[in-house]
Amino acid sequence: MTRLAPDPLVMRAARRPREPAVRSRTVAWTRAQLLDASNGLALSLANEGVGEGSRVAALLADDLPAVVLIEALRRLGAVFVPLNRRAAVPELRYQLGQVRAEALVHDEDRAGLAGSVAGSGPTLHRVEALLAAAPCGGRLRLRDEVDLDATAAIVFTSGTSGRARGAVLTHGNLGASAHAWSAVLRPRGGDRWLACLPFFHVAGLAIATRASRWGVELEVEPRFDVSAVSAAIDSGVSHLSLVPSQLGVLLEARGERQVPPSLRAILLGGGPIPVDLLERARVAGYPVLTTYGMTETSSGVAVGGADEATRTDPTALRALPGVSLRIEPASKTDGSGDVQVRGEMVFVGYVDEPAATARALQDGWLHSGDVGTLDADGLLRIVDRRDDLIISGGENIAPAEVELVLLAHPDVAEAAVVGLPHEHWGAVPIAAVVLRAGSAPSDEELLAYCRDRLAAFKIPVRITRLETLPRTDSGKVQRHLLRERLRGGMS
């Protein structure tokens, strides 16, 4: 049986058409205005052949047109596929092919990038032209209800095995996540959520989803600009989400400036959180809530700082309502093991990767690959994140992906990449290579080779030449030993 729910924007625009819906640096729209714009964009896309189930990729700034596109695709029953603007052309081409996108919507600033990656695949559509050509009416009936089991978005996530995977999130997944967070954040009239994380990350997409479902105003900031974010806080923003490196920059920029009472929560996630950073923020009066989650769970599934137990222990988190956690198998010595998650917000699988989906989802439980403990009081503590995954400034870097690029260089015989701690970014990628006999490429040559094939944040900050890589008897790289060997020289 199809599970249907009212479209949140249609419902709220009918009830409170003049309610603030979204604002950018130049525009502030009501619910009715946002609905009109999304209807027009939906009709423009429909005239270009986009319909129910169509996969529409996006290369857009995190600004008002992106919000309109998210709303428009839901009215059409189409699928939103946000692409990382920082990714390299080969990465984007792979992702477009993986999802078999029918259309690629881009803005003027990314027209050249869109043309480079589309090839003979999806049709290109400039969002400014689509909005300008939006018909006032049409014969097409847009959807006033949402099929909760239909795919809402495909968000790419970096796994430890190499190329990014497209995680399929349904409207029900995104709605369940928003519902779980509402019990913690308790949205109310007058709230304003600042979106300064990109919509191609699940945390950014979740912000837009919550604002739409909760009926709170969404303020979009195209990038993390510390002056703009600080000004937004002073002007009455109630909620925002940051990664640890951004919080550090914000604290330094604001100095002794008072925290206004209108600021009710800063959600902090996207990687390991330094305890001293967290304590410094809380002592200064910032209402920071730590989060744990992943793309496959439609954003966070556990929170710290929302109750006394997790405020007292900055490493502890508690599952959100509707989330089940377990540790399997648990070590007999310290109780640590694979963090597994169950709940309506857990994704349905990876695009065209049944084997990877079967490994991740077993008997209704998502096997995260993260190592953690869960005590008798239900407090979760993360011991290690996602096997070998490097989380740098909130961005996921799969070592295997970087290694494959280095191994493709004709002078490289072996390559291994690990993450080392960094004061600002949390972690950065470091590469070790074994060169072929008689070869002597410079570091710059190897790094330039990487720049042509990888997003900037994935490029190693240092390359070390070794005679051999430390390996197990079975030939697997011993990353913990390599990490210790490469630790010298970091600042």
pLDDT in tens, 442-478: 999 999 999 999 999 999 999 999 999 887 544 567 7
**Which CATH number is 83's domain given?**
3.40.50.12780
pLDDT at 372: 87
Residue 366 and residue 219 in one domain: yes
Structure tokens at 14: 């009918």
Question: Which of 73, 146, 85, 157 minimizes the C-alpha distance to 114?
Answer: 85
Residue 72 and residue 221 in one domain: yes
Distances from the Cα of 351 to the Cα of 42, 109, 345, angstroms: 25, 29, 17
Residue 380 lies in a domain: no
Residue 398 and residue 283 in one domain: no
Residue 459 and residue 317 in one domain: no
Domain boundary among 323, 342, 374: 374
Backbone region of residue 487 per phi and psi (left: phi > 0; alpha: psi in -120 to 50; beta: other values): alpha
Q: Render 256-292 in DSSP notation, one character per residue.
A: TPPPPTT--EEEE-SS---HHHHHHHHHTT--EEEEE
Residue 462 and residue 346 in one domain: no
Residue 491 lies in a domain: no
Residue 270 and residue 326 in one domain: yes
Q: From CA 404, how far away is CA 115, in angstroms rounded?
A: 26
**How far, rounded to the nearest angstrom, does the alpha carbon of residue 231 sit from its chain's CA centroid?**
24
Residue 307 and residue 444 in one domain: no
Residue 340 and residue 441 in one domain: no
CB half-sphere exposure, 362, CA atoms < 13 A: 11
In this predicted structure, the answer to whether residue 489 has a pLDDT above a threshold of 60 is no
pLDDT in tens, 392-433: 888 878 787 888 889 889 999 889 999 998 888 889 999 999
Supply the range of the domain harboring residue 361: 4-374
| Chain length of the chain | 491
End-to-end CA separation in angstroms for the chain: 57
In this predicted structure, the answer to whether residue 24 has a pLDDT above a threshold of 90 is yes
Residue 382 lies in a domain: no
Tokens 């990449």, located at residue? 417
The pTM for the full model equals: 0.85
Residue 365 and residue 413 in one domain: no
**Which CATH number is 458's domain given?**
3.30.300.30
Distances from the Cα of 342 to the Cα of 297, 338, 347, 359, 378, angstroms: 9, 13, 10, 15, 15
Mean pLDDT within 374-394: 84
Residue 246 lies in a domain: yes
Residue 137 and residue 180 in one domain: yes
Mean model confidence pLDDT for the chain: 92
Distances from the Cα of 338 to the Cα of 144, 162, 374, angstroms: 41, 20, 10
Residue 410 lies in a domain: yes
Residue 192 and residue 115 in one domain: yes
Distances from the Cα of 463 to the Cα of 30, 167, 323, 393, 451, angstroms: 52, 32, 42, 20, 14
Residue 384 lies in a domain: no
pLDDT in tens, 101-125: 999 999 999 999 999 999 888 999 9
